[in-house]
Structures are given as structure tokens and as C-alpha cells.
Amino acid sequence: MLAFLGLQDINQLIDQTVPSSIRNNRDLEVGPALSETEALAKLKAMASKNKLYQNHIGMGYHGTLTPHVLLRNILENPGWHTQYTPYQAEIAQGRLESLLNYQTMVADITGLPVANASLLDEATAAAEAMSMWFNIARRKKKSFFVSELVQPQTIDLVKTRAEGFGVEVIVGDHKTYDVAANKDLCGTLIQYPATDGSIDDYEPFIAASKSAGAKVVMATDLLALTTLKSPG
């Protein structure tokens, strides 16, 4: 690469590409090197200064409790992978089985025929759903409705993603918004339970969205769905 660009070394490349105003010309103050044991001890001492308080943020951020019987027999169960030799591709069988079990559980809880096992957080998944409905509408319908009861971080991320697609994000009250009046609507997004903890009956809104040709996205809490009526 350097030869192709006619440069002598990597420093000359950096000099020509990275502005001097953002470069640091002094050594980093990292101190002498530590052994792994010393580094862990230092990190533990630093972490011990943290003060743990009860979390009352809400809006999707809340503590969770995993029963030890599930932790040991499912999450920490070596049976998912150790029966396969490490160098064989079959180690993926255990992982595949656990993902299949998870997908099956999600399908049962949501009452929907298909489930995937993505690694996306809720906000990113909602943005992906918005872009999917936009593409299904062949990019002709360029507005997307988001209920004001959706988590604020989700609304922000959907807006960011929509900007790149040229999609207008309409945030409002799903109870009063006239879905049928907007012929340019590709989809809608609702939260269940809502960001304030309320539980709404979304059936009329979902029916109205479908009759208007708009696809529906529902952001849910899986644990809550074990008690509430499923999205399906």
C-alpha cells in the first residue's frame, strides 16, 4: 500500500492523512506494565468504589432476577457444547439447539409463527423493523408512525435510521392518530407494556393499521408477555 501511494513508511502516511489538530504528540500516561494478577487486583479495587443503588430509571432499564435453577441448568450447562470435540464444526450443534429452544419460546410467548435469535438491542431491532416495512412498501410509502408511549431511546434511534432513508417519523398518540388518513404510511410502532408501565389494548389500533395497509411493529417485554395477552 505504501509503495502504491509513493510513501516511505506508515508515519509518512499518517502525516498526510490525519490532521495535526487531532493528533496527540506525547506518550500516553499509562504507567508501568502490570501482570495479569496485578491488573485484576487494581481493577477490583477501582470497581469496589462503585456505590450500588436501587434502579428506578424504568423505560426499559430495570433489574432482572435469573433463578439459579435456570442459570445452572440452561445458561451454564456445559452439555450444550462439551459433548462435541472442540475442533469440529459440530460444536455449533449445541449452540444451534439452544438458539432453537429460545426461538421456540419466543414464538410461543409472542403468539407469532416465526421468531429469530438476533443480537440486536430493542431500539436497533425497532429501527430494523421500520426499514423492513419501508422496503416491503417498495420504498414508496415514506412515513412511519411511532406511539409517544414507546421508549424514548427507541424513538431517537428510529428517527436516526429513518433520516438516512428519507422516511418521516410521526410521533404521537396512537389513540387519536388517524392511520387511515395517511396514505403514505408504511408502518407503525407501539410499546407493550408502554414506557410509563401502562398496559393498553392495542387491538383497535392494530386493526386500523392493517386496514390502512400499514404494517405493525410491537416492542414488548418477554417476561411481561408470560402474563399479558400475546401480541399475536
Tell me what the mean pLDDT of segment 34-53 comes to. 95
Do 193 and 221 share a structural domain?
Answer: yes
Is residue 106 within 8 A of residue 150, CB to CB? The reply is no
Across all residues in the chain, what is the average pLDDT? 90
In a domain, 36, yes or no: no
Do 149 and 75 share a structural domain?
Answer: no
Backbone angles phi, psi at 61, to 5 degrees: -105, 105
What interhelical angle do 152-165 and 122-136 show, nearest 10? 40
Amino acid, res. 90 = E
Which pLDDT score is estimated for 61? 80
Q: Give me the sign of the Cα torsion angle 174, 179, 182, 186.
A: positive
Backbone angles phi, psi at 190, to 5 degrees: -130, 160
User: Residue 104 is part of which domain span?
Assistant: 69-110
DSSP letter at 89? Answer: T
Task: Give the predicted TM-score (pTM) of the model.
Answer: 0.72
Look-up of cell digits 430509571: 57
Residue 188 belongs to domain with CATH number: 3.40.640.10
In a domain, 146, yes or no: yes
Which pLDDT score is estimated for 91? 58
End of a domain among 57, 82, 110? Answer: 110
- Structurally, the chain folds into a number of domains equal to 2
Do 173 and 138 share a structural domain?
Answer: yes
Amino acid, res. 218 = M
Which pLDDT score is estimated for 152? 95
* DSSP states of 3-28: HHHT-SSHHHHHHHHS-GGG---S--
Backbone angles phi, psi at 134, to 5 degrees: -65, -40
Is residue 184 within 8 A of residue 156, CB to CB? The reply is no
Whether the pLDDT of residue 46 is over 70: the answer is yes
Which of the residue ranges 3-7, 47-51, 58-62 would you say has the lowest mean pLDDT?
58-62
Q: How far apart are CA 222 and CA 112, in angstroms?
A: 13
In a domain, 51, yes or no: no
Tell me what the mean pLDDT of segment 33-53 comes to. 94
Q: How far apart are CA 130 and CA 128, in angstroms?
A: 5
Do 128 and 100 share a structural domain?
Answer: no
pLDDT tens per residue, range 148-200: 999 999 999 999 999 999 999 999 999 999 999 999 999 999 999 999 989 99
In a domain, 82, yes or no: yes
Tell me what the mean pLDDT of segment 212-223 comes to. 94
Backbone angles phi, psi at 202, to 5 degrees: -90, 0
Look-up of cell digits 424504568: 58
In a domain, 46, yes or no: no
Do 216 and 141 share a structural domain?
Answer: yes
Q: Residue 122: pLDDT band by 50, 70, 90 thresholds?
A: very high
Which pLDDT score is estimated for 55? 76
